[in-house]
């Protein structure tokens, strides 16, 4: 009896740093920021209780509306784009692409490279007059190539493209791990049954990879709502907010305009939307994810 | 010589502070490069005040303001810190700045540029003191002017004179229908637009600075500027130049003229080198300007004392040392004009052996009626730092890139700006 209590106390002592850290640095700020979303607080002023005032303002603001639309547009490009490309790369590597160790490293490299450094390189690539992309298009006979980062039509897709390029290696590694758990005899059986490569992919690979795909999809969805560094360094949310997404807008309100209550309310709306999407995904999980 | 000057300055200031013992004074700056330059002056102050230690920290503006705000919220403001003209009203309204009215004498004030010194007075209270000030000027390429046979800009240039020059300097060198060198380069940010607006008597804000209400003079100035791109074709659309830093276009020889803050003198020197001769001029006065409404656009970088500082007297002595005769002209890079008149008028700062040969022109601007145009939440409605693509900036970009008419853009940024100002 005494020994069991001793074990419990020892365990608690070992867990204490983590629990205290979690409480102090995560749970208390989470709770505090939720309370803050009902206040008007310009950081060094006294907070004023405004009830749902911040939320009401957000839902009636044309700027916030534009930012929500941008966020949805970004996710619509980033999530399928990054997963699709990661899947293609993972399958190519799994099927014995020559120098696969080299390519595995090459595709993963952007993920671990400094975001600001690579984004500066992309700024040059997208530069209207001296950029690599527009010069290349010029050689192909395209005279009026877009100002990729200064045109509202192209700025957000450009941010999404760089984000996909940066993250695809990480998703590829996760999917590659999933692919390597598939029993090779299943492919042999399919081949014996006369299945062509494309049929083997859709009838064997995809069904057996759905668990990994589901995990990657949740990760990509969460990550798509958190894009910040690339936006900050590539377009600064412009032109005229065309590439401002929610995380960047929260940052602007919190750390440039110091509207802490407003930023907290925006964060909770983001949290709610993300939670809703994740729950929806889990709800539909059983319809397409094969756990066996 | 520089060291002797620092030491003398520190001794003068330190004479009245002999009682200070074992005191640490915290000093926070938004300019790490400038802080490096200041180390010698800081050491001289410490040497003249035995027992006083200056604890310094510096970070770029994007980190400085969140950090300083957090310190203000927790009641831990540094004793001395840099204060921007753009934010001083907000910080004074939030009662974060110590009242220095009692410690700054009129005799002391007479040593500084009045326009710069006045920016630190809010509602009759002195809450900050200028270290240096800056003002936008018209940069021009002398070689291009001479090659095109166009007279150089003068102080009595009109906007028509400017436009004629810009047309003559916009050149398609190989006749392929594409402009190779632009007469002017234009960007929709505050340092590039407001000088024209205020020199035309324009104002964006109402009298008590609580709402955006553009007067006709401001609208006319915006029309003149945006027409330079969209109608006259003497300046490129900003999107065409995406990928080239706006402040590099004129120094790289891609445009003959450009308006920017005087801080860009250092950058222009560094890029141009000996490639061509260049100078600076005052931004021309607009056709709607009168003696009553015309204003020069200039603002100061200031030092302030935290409201809870236990060492206000010592902090003020440190400020006196850092802004006054204890400093050397070489501490003020390029076009940062020392607020202390004797340093600004010294040959060491005027640098008449370097380009621009007429740097003293900045001192004439400082002697004029100065208007900053800053208000509470200015960075939100105008667009600054990471809000740089939104607010008025974003809408003007749309006009300059030919995607929106000016009147629609004005309606949009007034609506947005007034929402920001009402918060």
pLDDT confidence of B185, banded at 50, 70, 90?
very high
Residue window 59-78, chain A: list those with CB within 8 Å of chain B. Answer: 61, 63
Cis ω before B356 (30° cut-off from 0): yes
* Residue keyed to tokens 């445009």: B255
Residue B11 has pLDDT above 60, yes or no: no
Judging contacts by C-beta atoms under 8 Å, the chain A residues touching residue B380 are 256-257
Question: Cβ distance A216 to A175 under 8 Å?
Answer: yes
pLDDT at B388: 76
pLDDT at B4 over 60: no
Whether B239 has a pLDDT exceeding 70, the answer reads: yes
Can you name the CATH fold of A52-288? MetI-like fold (1.10.3720)
CB-based contact B390 A40, cutoff 8 Å: no
In Å, how far from its chain's centre is CA A45?
Answer: 34
Distance CA B126, CA B304 (A): 9
Chain A nearest C-alpha distance from B108 (Å): 32
Place of tokens 């001289």: B44
The mean pLDDT of B83-92, rounded to a whole number, is: 91
What b-and-e string marks burial along B336-375, b requiring 16 or more CB atoms within 10 Å of the CB? bbbbbbebbeeebbbbeeebbbebebbbebbebebbbbbb
Q: What is the pLDDT of residue B61?
A: 85
Structure tokens at A108: 């993963």
Instruction: Assess whether pLDDT exceeds 50 at residue B175.
Output: yes
Best CA proximity match to B376, nearest among B324, B306, B410, B423: B423
CB-based contact, A94 to chain B, within 8 Å: no
pLDDT over 90 (residue A65): yes
pLDDT band at B269 (very low <50, low <70, confident <90, very high): very high
The rounded distance, in Å, linking the Cα atoms of B182 and A23 is 60
Mean confidence (pLDDT) of chain A = 91
Q: Per-residue confidence at B316, pLDDT binned at 50, 70, 90?
A: very high
pLDDT of B201 strictly over 90:
yes
Give pLDDT, residue B20.
Answer: 45
The pLDDT value given to residue B15:
46
Q: Report the percent of chain A where pLDDT is more than 70.
A: 98
Confidence of residue B21 (pLDDT cuts 50, 70, 90): low
Contact state of B243 with A256 under an 8 Å Cβ cutoff: no
> What average pLDDT score do residues A84-92 get?
94
| Mean predicted confidence (pLDDT) in A161-177 | 95
Q: What is the pLDDT of residue A292?
A: 59
Q: Lowest mean pLDDT: which of A113-127, B114-128, B283-297, B383-397?
A: B383-397
A37 contact B CB<8A: no
Mutation site for A-interface testing, chosen from B65, B385, B389, B408 by largest number of A Cβ within 10 Å: B389
The confidence band for A98, taking pLDDT boundaries of 50, 70 and 90, is: low
Rounded average pLDDT over B4-31: 65
Distances (CA, A) of B250 to A86, A116, A183, B16, B247: 44, 27, 64, 49, 7
Q: Check pLDDT > 90 for residue B389.
A: no
Confidence of residue A99 (pLDDT cuts 50, 70, 90): low
Q: From residue B103, give the alpha-carbon distance in Å to each of A51, A163, B31, B98, B117.
A: 44, 55, 26, 11, 14
Average pLDDT of span A96-114: 80
Interface contact A126-B420, CB threshold 8 A: no
b/e burial code for range B148-172 (CB count within 10 A of at least 16 → b): bebeebeeebebeebbbbbbbbbee
Instruction: Pick from A150, A244, A263 the residue to mutate for testing the B interface (most B CBs within 10 Å).
Output: A150
Q: What is the pLDDT of residue B390?
A: 86
- B416 neighbourhood in chain A, CB within 8 Å: 63
Q: Which residue of A has its CA nearest to B390?
A: A240
Candidates A130, A241, A257; nearest CB to B394: A241
Is some CB atom of chain A closer than 8 A to the CB atom of B395?
yes
- What pLDDT was estimated at residue B291? 94
Contact A257 B379 (CB under 8 A): yes
Nearest to B297 by CA among B186, B159, B201, B423: B201
Rounded CA-CA distance B375/B382 in Å is: 10
What confidence tens digit (pLDDT) does each residue in A4-14 have? 888 999 999 99
- What are the structural domains, with CATH classification, of chain B? 2-135+299-366 (3.40.190.10), 136-296+377-422 (3.40.190.10)
Q: State the Cα–Cα distance between residues A182 and A178, nearest whole angstrom.
A: 7
d(CA B279, CA B270): 14
**Angle in degrees, CA A104, A106, A107, rounded to 5:** 70
How far apart are alpha carbons A174 and A277 in whole angstroms? 21
d(CA B213, CA A243): 28
Residue B91 has pLDDT above 60, yes or no: yes
Supply the pLDDT for residue A101: 76
Over residues B299-322, the mean pLDDT reads 93
How far are the Cα atoms of A47, A71, A149 from residue B254, in angstroms, in the given order?
Answer: 51, 37, 21
Rounded average pLDDT over B278-306: 95
| Terminal-residue alpha carbon distance, chain A | 42
| Mean of pLDDT over chain B | 91
Angle between helices B2-14 and B32-48 in degrees, nearest 10: 60
Question: Is residue A120 predicted with pLDDT exceeding 70?
Answer: yes
**What does chain B come to in residues?**
423
Cβ contact B48:B11 at 8 Å: yes
Arithmetic mean of pLDDT, B361-380? 88
In this prediction the pTM is 0.86
Q: How do the domains of chain A map onto residue ranges? A: 1-36, 52-288
- State whether B379 and A237 contact (CB < 8 Å): no
The dihedral formed by the CA atoms of A206, A93, A165 and A215, expressed in degrees to the nearest 10: 40
SS (H, E, C) chain B: CHHHHHHHHHHHHHHHHCCCCCEEEEEEECCHHHHHHHHHHHHHHHHHCCCEEEEEEECCHHHHHHHHHHHHHCCCCCCEEEEECCCHHHHHHCCCECCCCCCCCHHHHCCECHHHHHCCEECCEECCEEEEEECEEEEEEHHHHHHHCCCCCCCCCCHHHHHHHHHHHCECCCCCCCCCEEEEECCCCHHHHHHHHHHCCCCCECCCCCCECCCHHHHHHHHHHHHHHHCCCCCCCHHHHCCCCHHHHCCCCCEEEEEEECCHHHHHHHHHCCCCCEEEECCCCCCCCCCCCCCEECEEEEEEEECCCCCHHHHHHHHHHHHCCCCCHHHCCCCCEECEHHHHCCHHHHCCCCCCCCCCHHHHHHCCCEECCCCCCHHHHHHCHHHCCCHHHHHHHHHHCCCCCHHHHHHHHHHHHHHHHHC
Q: Is the dihedral of CA B358, B360, B364, B370 positive or negative?
A: positive
Would you give the DSSP letter of residue A170? H
Residue B3 has pLDDT above 70, yes or no: no
Q: Which H or E run includes A48?
A: strand A48-49
Residue B48 · residue B4 · CB < 8 Å: no
The pLDDT assigned to A257 comes to 83
User: How far does the CA of residue B185 sit from the closest CA of chain A (Å)?
Assistant: 15
Is A235 in Cβ contact with B387 (below 8 Å)? no
> What percent of chain B is predicted at pLDDT more than 90?
72
Is residue B393 scored above 70 in pLDDT? yes
Average pLDDT over residues A21-34: 93
| Phi-psi region at A251: left, alpha or beta (left = phi > 0; alpha = psi -120 to 50) | alpha
């Amino acid at each position: 009896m005494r020994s069991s209590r001793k074990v419990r106390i020892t365990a608690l002592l070992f867990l204490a740093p983590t629990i205290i850290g979690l409480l102090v640095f995560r749970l208390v700020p989470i709770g505090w920021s939720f309370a803050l979303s009902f206040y008007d607080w310009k950081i060094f002023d006294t907070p004023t209780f405004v009830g749902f005032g911040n939320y009401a303002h957000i839902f009636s603001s044309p700027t916030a509306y534009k930012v929500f639309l941008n966020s949805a547009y970004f996710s619509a490009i980033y999530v399928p784009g990054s997963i699709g490309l990661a899947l293609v790369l993972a399958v190519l590597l799994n099927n014995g692409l020559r120098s696969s160790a080299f390519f595995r490293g090459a595709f993963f490299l952007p993920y671990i490279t400094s975001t600001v450094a690579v984004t500066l390189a992309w700024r040059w690539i997208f530069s209207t007059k001296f950029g690599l992309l527009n010069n290349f298009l010029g050689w192909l006979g395209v005279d009026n190539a877009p100002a990729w980062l200064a045109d509202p039509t192209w700025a957000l897709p450009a941010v999404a493209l760089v984000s996909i390029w940066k993250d695809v290696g990480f998703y590829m590694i996760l999917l590659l791990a999933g692919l390597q758990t598939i029993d090779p005899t299943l492919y042999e059986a399919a081949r014996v049954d006369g299945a062509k490569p494309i049929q083997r992919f859709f009838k064997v690979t995809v069904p057996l990879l759905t668990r990994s795909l589901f995990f990657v999809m949740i990760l990509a969805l969460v990550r798509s709502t958190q894009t910040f560094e690339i936006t900050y360094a590539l377009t600064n949310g412009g032109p005229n907010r065309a590439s401002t997404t929610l995380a960047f807008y929260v940052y602007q309100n919190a750390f440039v305009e110091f509207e802490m209550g407003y930023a907290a309310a925006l964060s909770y709306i983001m949290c709610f939307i993300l939670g809703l999407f994740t729950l929806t995904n889990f709800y539909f999980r059983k319809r397409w994810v094969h756990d066996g | 010589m520089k060291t002797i000057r620092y030491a003398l300055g520190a001794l003068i200031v330190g004479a009245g502070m002999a009682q200070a013992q074992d005191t640490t004074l915290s000093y926070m700056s938004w300019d790490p490069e400038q802080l490096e330059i200041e180390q010698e002056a800081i050491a001289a102050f410490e040497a003249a005040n035995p027992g006083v230690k200056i604890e310094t920290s510096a970070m770029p503006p994007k980190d400085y303001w969140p950090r300083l705000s957090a310190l203000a919220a927790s009641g831990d403001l540094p004793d001395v810190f840099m204060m921007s003209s753009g934010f001083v009203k907000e910080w004074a309204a939030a009662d974060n700045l110590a009242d220095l009215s009692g410690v700054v004498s009129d005799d002391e004030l007479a040593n500084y540029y009045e326009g710069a010194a006045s920016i630190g007075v809010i509602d009759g209270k002195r809450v900050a003191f200028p270290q240096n000030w800056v003002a936008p000027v018209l940069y021009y390429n002398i070689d291009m002017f001479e090659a095109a046979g166009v007279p150089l800009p003068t102080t009595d240039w009109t906007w028509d004179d400017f436009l004629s020059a810009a047309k003559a300097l916009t050149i398609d060198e190989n006749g392929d229908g594409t402009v190779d060198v632009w007469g002017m380069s234009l960007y929709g940010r505050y340092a590039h637009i407001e000088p024209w607006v205020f020199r035309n008597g324009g104002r964006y804000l109402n009298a008590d600075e609580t709402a955006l209400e553009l007067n006709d003079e401001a609208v006319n100035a915006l029309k003149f500027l945006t027409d330079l791109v969209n109608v006259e074709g003497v300046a490129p659309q900003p999107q065409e130049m995406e990928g080239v830093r706006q402040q590099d276009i004129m120094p790289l020889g891609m445009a003959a003229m450009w308006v920017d803050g005087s801080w860009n003198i250092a950058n222009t020197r560094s890029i141009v080198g000996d490639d061509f001769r260049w100078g600076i001029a005052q931004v021309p006065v607009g056709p709607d300007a009168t003696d009553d409404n015309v204003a020069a656009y200039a603002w100061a970088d200031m030092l302030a004392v935290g409201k809870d500082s236990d060492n206000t007297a010592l902090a003020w002595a440190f400020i006196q040392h850092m802004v006054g005769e204890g400093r050397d002209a070489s501490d003020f890079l390029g076009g940062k004009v020392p607020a202390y008149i004797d340093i600004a008028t010294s040959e060491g700062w005027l640098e008449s052996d370097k380009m621009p040969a007429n740097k003293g022109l900045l001192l004439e601007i400082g002697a004029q009626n100065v208007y900053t145009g800053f208000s509470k939440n200015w960075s939100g409605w105008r667009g600054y730092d990471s809000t740089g693509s939104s607010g008025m900036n974003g809408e003007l970009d749309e006009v300059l890139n030919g995607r929106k008419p000016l009147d629609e853009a004005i309606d949009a940024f007034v609506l947005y700006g007034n929402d920001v100002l009402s918060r």
